[in-house]
Structure 1
Amino acid sequence: MKKSVVSTISVSIFCLGVSTGSWAEASPLEWKNEDGTASFKVGGVIRVQDRYESWPQSSNRGMGKLDFDVLRLDLKGTYDDFYLNSSFLLQDQEFTSIEKAYVGYKLNPNNSLEAGFVYKPFAIYPYPQNGWTYHLPFFLGYGNNIAPGLNWNYDDKNWDIKLGYYPSMLETNMRYSPESGSYDDLKNTFPNQKGYQNEKQNQVNARVVKKFDTTLGKQEVGLSGAISQLHNKITDDDGKYYALGLHANSNLNRWNIQGSIIHYQYDAKNPEGVDDRMTLMGTNGLTPSYLIASEGTVSSLNVSYTLPIKDMWKLKAIKFYNDFSYLDKTHTDWSASQMNTTGMMFIASPFMVWADYTWGKNANIIGGSTNSTGYTTATSLNSDKWLYRVNLNFGFSF
């Protein structure tokens, strides 16, 4: 990352902080009018990381070198019953992306509409894990996933219901989370992916959650569904995509247990010679695009325990967690993908530190290009090998 980029952003944030106009200042980066009907807040986080990876081909074979991870700028605001929620990212190697950017309107205390680059609600969301390291649901498109469209939300003490429509997917050069994409649009691709030219269109998501309050804490169980057209640029024909998900989220005093099961299928209308058993996924090019099994079932189980801390400077709590995910591919001769992350999160606002130990097999995040077929046939250099990665991530929020 070039120094001038950080300097420009820092100056911009500083200028926002000193130009308050007629607004009453609530904090250095937050403003509210006198009657509280309008507000605007600038925030964000900057993160650096250190990493060790076990496979011999990795360039991260030693700890002790901090690298830039991400700078996120958050803009939030309210005006009467309208609200704004947006997050913009500057990532390593000067890649940029949008985590979310939408405007909402509260119809009444229980109903709201949101338009813009909105979350696609599905199962455990927006983050399907506790740790800093993303897990298999994320790499299959079921975590922190947004699209241009419209969401309707209903929420009361018993139910949380979300319904969304997305005519197209987010442009590939703005994607933070992975989504199915066409070879011609995605960056950082490989020649063997050239035949995969499918994009989702007219997607509909629904998520229905039943909530319970108990003496031990809040509980929820939910059912999710998604369906869309899958347009092929070469054949100009529409296939289809669908996914079904079941999840639970249980709070038991200081414990939290999350579980999900998601079955998905991409039924593409590919030209002859293209293997229908695979689907191309990708983001903004920060990491290479990759193929996944076109049909499979991904399961996850996440457990965490939060320990309160007293009288230790800014440290308020330590969260211990273990995240496990498993992808079973429909083709029985394809090896399963597995990941497990054990770690701790140190909560010391405005500082946040994650310490992750992730081990797994047949997952592109563990092995990189040497495990490039991990989500499909598992026939790469490091297929079916248990590999591990240690990751330290340091964040400062403003």
Structure 2
Amino acid sequence: MFYLKTWLGICFLMATISVNAQEKPTVEIGGALRFNYNYSSWKDAQKKRGGDFGYDVFLLKAKAKYKGLKLNAEYRFYSEDFGGGMLKQGWIAYDFNENDELQFGLTQVPFGITQYNSNSFFFSLNYYVGLEDDHDMGLKYIHQGEKWDYTLAFFKNAEELRFGGNSDVSNSRYSYDVGSIDLNGDGNLNIRNKEVNQLNGNLSYKIENPNAKHRVGVSAQYGGLFNLDTEEMGNHYALAAYYEAQVGKLGVKAQLVNYKYNPENPNGEADGVVAMTAYGAPYLIASEASIYTLGLSYSVPLDWGPVSNVVIYNDFGYMDKTESSFEDSMMNVTGAMFTAGNIYTLVDFAAGKNQPWLGAEWTNALAAGTPDAEWEMRFNINIGYYF
């Protein structure tokens, strides 16, 4: 009896310790410091000096958890020319159980392949029209099952940094959102729209075995598009079908997206384009298009001093604009990511045609484009220490 009582006492004590350990709050602080080198084919002066090497971003991450409640936030400090400081994401969540979670705040939009539909530093064409790694303000419910995953979300609006009744969307943001643009250089903004009251749904089916993981999914997005000049509500939608796989060391990401914006602009402003903004500088995109992307990657273990692994990849994207007079956009990135302890280095050869970040034309590259545009190239090295 003594031994039984002793054993029961030990079990009770261990259970008490376990419960108390689970109830203690946990906090994690991390971040990264990154530098960037680039050499661009369309910048003559830069080519003469052999490219440019400088500061990219310093970012801080915070995670906390207590009694099923979680916090996840990431703040980034870019240079002033790239938008300055900005909150990439920041949300509070509650875990109902190990399969179901509710997030509230600035959280990633559940559309297409997440977290990224790409492998490189440049993302895919979807990112530049606000359909990859986008973050908006709202509620998101996530369920992860044995075979089926689904996410449902409502977003009141994109990141709102100005709360005036007629305030334009701020250009200082990490992910691309519909905004406003000064087309004439006269200080007056044009095509002034805001994303509001957006619904999202994402459904995927998983097939997993010891040798491979596959996921097939579909996404839908629908919301309002409020014009600040007419004060009338337009709408927008986007649809996606995707497939991703990890077969041994080989990775595959394939996605088809169709989107359309229906703004209620003032008379005289074209409805065939909308303004999109991030990193301190807006541009125009076609209001309707289909985007096809395919990314392939292959992981190779290495033993080169501190270098332990390299992932070789190629990401291709094609943007088919519905307006027949518009020139389509293309983008291809071939590169490799090297892992050396806490240092991650991405080496990319990025080529683009009618892509604002890969060519001299900024404002209209993803809209009307340039007839007979040539492929432009950017050689880019991004080095980051993550802690």
Distance in 2 (alpha carbons) for counterparts of 1:279 and 1:329 = 13
Cα gap change, 1:373 to 1:58, in 2 (>3 Å): farther
User: Aligned pair 1:275/2:266, yes or no?
Assistant: no
Match of 1:391 in 2: 380
After alignment, is 54-63 or 270-279 more displaced? 54-63
Give the TM-score, by structure 1 length.
0.85
CA RMSD of aligned residues (A): 2.1
Compute the displacement of 1:62 (Å). Answer: 4.1
Partner letter of residue 35 of structure 1? Answer: A
Cα gap change, 1:377 to 1:173, in 2 (>3 Å): closer
User: Aligned pair 1:298/2:291, yes or no?
Assistant: yes
Residues 201-280 of structure 1: matches in 2 within 5 Å?
201-280=196-275
User: Aligned pair 1:85/2:72, yes or no?
Assistant: yes
The answer (yes or no) to whether the contact 2:356–2:362 under 8 Å persists in 1 is yes
Cα gap change, 1:52 to 1:107, in 2 (>3 Å): same
After alignment, is 89-98 or 152-161 more displaced? 89-98
User: Aligned pair 1:41/2:28, yes or no?
Assistant: yes
Secondary structure of the equivalent of 2:121?
coil
Distance in 1 (alpha carbons) for counterparts of 2:320 and 2:95 = 41
Secondary structure of the equivalent of 2:127?
helix
The answer (yes or no) to whether the contact 1:97–1:284 under 8 Å persists in 2 is no
Cα gap change, 1:194 to 1:105, in 2 (>3 Å): same
The answer (yes or no) to whether the contact 1:113–1:151 under 8 Å persists in 2 is yes
Match of 2:136 in 1: 147
User: Aligned pair 1:175/2:173, yes or no?
Assistant: yes
The answer (yes or no) to whether the contact 2:41–2:377 under 8 Å persists in 1 is yes
The answer (yes or no) to whether the contact 2:39–2:52 under 8 Å persists in 1 is no
Distance in 2 (alpha carbons) for counterparts of 1:34 and 1:317 = 39
Distance in 2 (alpha carbons) for counterparts of 1:146 and 1:268 = 21
Residues 301-312 of structure 1: matches in 2 within 5 Å?
301-310=294-303, 312=304
Match of 1:377 in 2: 368
Distance in 1 (alpha carbons) for counterparts of 2:185 and 2:292 = 29
User: Aligned pair 1:70/2:29, yes or no?
Assistant: no
Partner letter of residue 263 of structure 2? Answer: A
Distance in 2 (alpha carbons) for counterparts of 1:52 and 1:189 = 30
The answer (yes or no) to whether the contact 1:51–1:60 under 8 Å persists in 2 is no
The answer (yes or no) to whether the contact 1:193–1:280 under 8 Å persists in 2 is no
Secondary structure of the equivalent of 1:375?
coil
Distance in 1 (alpha carbons) for counterparts of 2:277 and 2:179 = 6
Partner letter of residue 91 of structure 1? Answer: Y
Distance in 2 (alpha carbons) for counterparts of 1:244 and 1:105 = 28
Identity %: 28
Residues 94-113 of structure 1: matches in 2 within 5 Å?
95-113=84-102
Distance in 1 (alpha carbons) for counterparts of 2:214 and 2:188 = 43
Aligned residues: 357
- Give ranges in structure 2 of 5+ residues lacking alignment: 1-18, 161-169
Distance in 1 (alpha carbons) for counterparts of 2:279 and 2:252 = 32
- Give ranges in structure 1 of 5+ residues lacking alignment: 1-32
Partner letter of residue 139 of structure 1? Answer: Y
Secondary structure of the equivalent of 2:307?
coil
Secondary structure of the equivalent of 1:139?
helix
Secondary structure of the equivalent of 1:224?
strand
Cα gap change, 1:65 to 1:174, in 2 (>3 Å): closer
Compute the displacement of 1:277 (Å). Answer: 0.3
Distance in 2 (alpha carbons) for counterparts of 1:120 and 1:307 = 32
The partner residue of 2:318 within 323, 326, 329 is: 326
Partner letter of residue 357 of structure 1? Answer: F
Compute the displacement of 1:193 (Å). Answer: 8.3
Partner letter of residue 271 of structure 1? Answer: P
The answer (yes or no) to whether the contact 2:283–2:362 under 8 Å persists in 1 is no
Distance in 2 (alpha carbons) for counterparts of 1:146 and 1:161 = 18
The answer (yes or no) to whether the contact 1:189–1:289 under 8 Å persists in 2 is no
Residues 157-196 of structure 1: matches in 2 within 5 Å?
157-171=146-160, 172=170, 174-183=172-181, 190=185, 194-196=189-191
Question: What per-residue deviation string (whole Å, max 9, x for no partner) do you get for residues 273-316 of structure 1?
Answer: 1010000000251xx21000000001110000000123x33211
Secondary structure of the equivalent of 1:137?
helix
Distance in 1 (alpha carbons) for counterparts of 2:224 and 2:179 = 13
Match of 1:128 in 2: 117
The answer (yes or no) to whether the contact 2:171–2:277 under 8 Å persists in 1 is no
The answer (yes or no) to whether the contact 1:52–1:62 under 8 Å persists in 2 is no
Residues 353-364 of structure 1: matches in 2 within 5 Å?
353-364=345-356
Secondary structure of the equivalent of 2:368?
coil
Question: What per-residue deviation string (whole Å, max 9, x for no partner) do you get for residues 321-379 of structure 1?
Answer: 000011000012321100000001001121010100011100101114x3432111113
Partner letter of residue 267 of structure 1? Answer: N
Structure possessing the higher radius of gyration over alpha carbons? 2
Distance in 1 (alpha carbons) for counterparts of 2:221 and 2:302 = 41
